[in-house]
Every structure is written in C-alpha cells, then in structure tokens.
Structure 1
Amino acid sequence: MNLLILRRLLPVAILLGGLAVFLLLGLERYFSYDLLCRHQVTLTQWVARHALISAAVFVLAYALVVAFSLPVAMVVTPVAGFLFGTWMGAGLSVIGATLGSIAVFLAARTAFRDLFRARAGPALARFEAGFQRNDFSYLLFLRLVPVFPFWLINIVPALLGMRLDRYALATMIGIVPAAIVYASVGAGLGIVIGRGERPDLGIIFEWRILLPLLGLAALSLVPVVYTYLRKPKATP
C-alpha cells in the first residue's frame, strides 16, 4: 500500500521538486528583460537559422515552465512573439502551455483524485456533479478571465473528475486570446528595446483588452444558462 501511494505521489513530487530547484537556484534571473536585451541579436539569428529546432525547443521549454508552475510564464509568451512573430508565437505558446497544463492535470488526478473523492462530503459531491455537467463551459470561462491563477485551474478540474480530452480542448481554446495579446506585445519588443523602454505586460488588464475577454467568457457560459433554463421546475 505504501509503495502504491508513493507511486501516485511521484509525479506531483517531481513537479514540486522542479519548482523548488528553480526557486532555490534563483533561475528566474535567466528570464529577465535585461538578459533578453543583451542577447536579442544572438537569439534572433539562431531562430532564423534553425526555425524548426527553435520552435520545438520553445514548445518544450514552455511546457516545462507550466508543468513546474514556474513564476515566469507571463514573460515567455512575449518572448515567443519577439522571436517568432505574433501568430506563430501565439500558436507555439498555446501548444506549450496546453502540454504543460496536461502534465499538471494528470499528476494531480493520479495523486489526489481518489483522496479527494473519499474526503468529499455530500455538498461537495453535488458540486462535483454540477461541474461535470458543464465542465467544458466552466473551464473555458476560467481560462478566458485573466484573474484566476493558472496553476490552480490546472488542478481543480482533475479533482472534479473532468475528462482529459475535454480539459485539453477547453484549455487550448481558452488561452488563445491572451496568448495573442502577449505575443503581439512581444512582436513589438524590437522597437521598445530600441527606445530603451520596457514592455507593458499589464496591457491585458486595460479595458480595451479586458472587456472583449470578459465578453468571450460570458459567451462561454451560455450553454450553462441554457441548461439551467431548460431544467424542469420542481412542482410544489
């Protein structure tokens, strides 16, 4: 039994260990804007010479950033826009982030799903059932609204029994708008660097960007509202 528990906890232990190593070694210094400015020419030239390899390396790196929940994910997508352009950078970011999210989802489901179900009371069980009826819409809403912690959204659906294929599709669709916004910021980094300025990564919280995202999030809940309205009313 102890061996079985250890095997279930191993994926989570690996992911948490990666985060701990990253923080203890101070590796976030390699994801700084200043470092990008110093090596921009080298990076752009290497990407130009090795387009396919650089794209694959970026996707893998982004997947690891998300899987280990490293506190640098927000700066990675702008770098993708800088190196690959807005559309390709956004596409590679979506692929990498989705793969990393799947790793967290599977690790959380393996380690904690059975424990969560065993400890869940009747009220929580009803909440779980309600979530599963419209899990795609709920997850899409959470992905589209840029205020919920990304790592938390990776874990909760696993605990609530969401299917992997629905989770992956909702994640991929839900992160597209923000990826395009950040990649477009990155695509203009060359001009920003030339001016000696810093990019505005808070642009997503400006109303001209935030309102359309909130509108898309509201649309994602339409199936939930429709299901609720069609539910037969209990007779007294």
Structure 2
Amino acid sequence: MPDLPPPASPPRPAAPPAAPPAWRRLWPLGLLLAGLGLAYALGLHRALSLDALATHRAALAGFVAARPVLAPLLYLGLYILVVGASLPGATVLTLAGGLLFGPWLGAAAAVAGATLGACLLFLAARHALAGALARRAGPRLARVAEGLRRDGFWVLLSLRFLPVLPFWLVNLAPALAGMRLAPYAAATFLGIIPATAVFAGIGAGLGQVLEAGGRPDLSVILSPGILLPLLGLAALSLLGAWWRRRRQGGRDAAPGGQQRGD
C-alpha cells in the first residue's frame, strides 16, 4: 500500500492585532491637555468671567463693529477651544455672544462652537481611551455600551436638553462607551439649541445691566417658563428611545424572525 501523506495540520488562529503604541493613541488627548494647561497659564480662565466681560465690553463691541466678519470667526474658534479643552466659562461666552452679535447670530455661533468643540473632545477621547477601555470592560459596562450604541442619540439628547450633568462629562462618557460620532454630533447640536438660545437672549440685553453695575440673573433657566419646556423636550427624547426599543422588540418577536409591517 502506498504511503499516505500526513494529514494537514489545522490552521493556526490568527494572532490578534497588536495594540498601537501609546503615543499614537494618546497624542490627541495630550494635545487637548496641553491646550488646557496653556490656557490656564495665560489666564484665559480668568478672562471668561462676567467681571472681565463688563470691563472689556466697550473694546469688544468696537472690535466687532470694525471687523464684522473676523469677529464671529474668532468667537467661534474661541468657543471650540473652550469646549474642546473643557475650560470653565462656556456660559459667559454664550452671554458674550448674545451681547456682541445679537441673540440670533450669537446663539448660532455658540451652538456651532459648542458642537464642534464637543466633537473634537469626543474624537480625542475615543481615539485615546475607548479601545483600551473596551478590552477591559466587564459585562455591566458592555451592556451600557450596547445601550448607548442602540439608543445613544435619544439618551444624549435628553441630557443635552436638560443639562443635569457637567458638559465635559456628557462629552466624554459616550466616547468611552463606544457611541458613534454621527448620532453624538446630531444629539449635541439639537440638544443644546434651547438653553443656548435662552442664554444668548439674556446676553443680548446684558449691556444695560452691566452699565448699571449689575449682574444677569442666570437663575432664569430654572424658572417654570424655561425649565418646564426643557423638561418636556427631555421627556420626549426619552420617549423616543422607549418607542424605538419597543418597535425593535416587536420585530424580534415576529414569527419566523421576519419583521412585522407597521
């Protein structure tokens, strides 16, 4: 009988891809931290205050009048820096936008700057930390991440409508949980419009208050006329998450695995 060839050995499983070097993962976050340190070293955090706004209001108004195109662009860039580096003072910056550019342009520039800055921080944190966190995540965190990937738009939208958590924390948590950028950016953009419009409107009438040596009453955001609509919007966004999950459950329960028609 002729000799049979030896049986082929089973293929070896492919080795998992090597993790990228730490510097390649962490450099975007390190860049933002360096920007944060530089901003504190230059005293930018002290400039983002109502006292500084009252002191330099006339000079800022003159700059805006002399450079009507450049001034909003600089304001937008400053807002992106403040939110991206998680500097305090975004509320004062929104008031300044309403004071210098009016309620509509001021609100639009603030919403654009806050959204771009939040997306910048989101991308930096996801690039630096999300992969390592996912490799070390336990079952509970995996369920949270899955929930954010499924209903993250609606959950984040409710948090943006009613800012009960610090803005920087709401920026970071979805990135670390693996949420996608598109729903994150959309929920951020839509969710910050109402409160930003309120603060820009307050800022538009701030000139006379500052001239009289007063300070704006920011507690107006907690008044029933403002707070109740925001609560309603947050509840509607959570209702959207519930309805989406209910529909998904109905599809999964359809006979034969087929989706039921609406």
Pair in the same fold by TM > 0.5: yes
Give the alignment's Cα RMSD to 1 decimal.
1.9
Match of 1:69 among 86, 98, 107: 86
Match of 1:80 among 97, 106, 124: 97
Summarize deviations over 1:138-194 as a string: whole Å, max 9, x none: 110111112211111111111222221221111111100111011011001111123
What is the aligned partner in structure 2 of residue 134 from structure 1? 151
What is the aligned partner in structure 2 of residue 124 from structure 1? 141
Question: 5 Å matches for 1:45-56?
Answer: 45-56=62-73
User: Is 2:195 the counterpart of 1:178?
Assistant: yes
Q: Distance in 1 between matches of 2:200 and 2:34?
A: 29
Matched pairs, number: 234
Q: Distance in 2 between matches of 1:67 and 1:52?
A: 23
What is the aligned partner in structure 2 of residue 215 from structure 1? 232
Q: Distance in 2 between matches of 1:89 and 1:177?
A: 13
Q: Distance in 1 between matches of 2:201 and 2:79?
A: 17
Structure 1: where are the runs of 5+ without partners? none
What is the aligned partner in structure 2 of residue 187 from structure 1? 204
Match of 2:109 among 92, 96, 103: 92
What is the aligned partner in structure 1 of residue 37 from structure 2? 20
| Runs of 4+ residues deviating >4 angstroms | none
User: Is 2:221 the counterpart of 1:204?
Assistant: yes
Q: Distance in 2 between matches of 1:53 and 1:24?
A: 26
If you compute each CA radius of gyration, which structure gives the higher value, 1 or 2? 2
Q: Distance in 2 between matches of 1:185 and 1:7?
A: 43
Summarize deviations over 1:10-29 as a string: whole Å, max 9, x none: 11112122223333454322
Percentage identity across paired residues of the two chains: 48
Bigger shift: 99-108 or 194-203? Answer: 194-203
Q: Distance in 1 between matches of 2:147 and 2:20?
A: 34
Q: Is the 8 A contact 2:97 2:107 kept in 1?
A: yes
Structure 2: where are the runs of 5+ without partners? 1-17, 254-262
What is the aligned partner in structure 2 of residue 41 from structure 1? 58
Shift of residue 64, structure 1, vs aligned partner:
0.1
Summarize deviations over 1:174-229 as a string: whole Å, max 9, x none: 10011101101100111112322111223212232111111101111122121343
Q: Distance in 2 between matches of 1:228 and 1:167?
A: 18
Q: Distance in 2 between matches of 1:217 and 1:2?
A: 39
What is the aligned partner in structure 2 of residue 112 from structure 1? 129
Q: Distance in 2 between matches of 1:123 and 1:27?
A: 40
Matched residue type, 1:170: A
Q: Is the 8 A contact 2:145 2:179 kept in 1?
A: no
User: Is 2:185 the counterpart of 1:168?
Assistant: yes
Matched residue type, 1:136: F
User: Is 2:21 the counterpart of 1:7?
Assistant: no
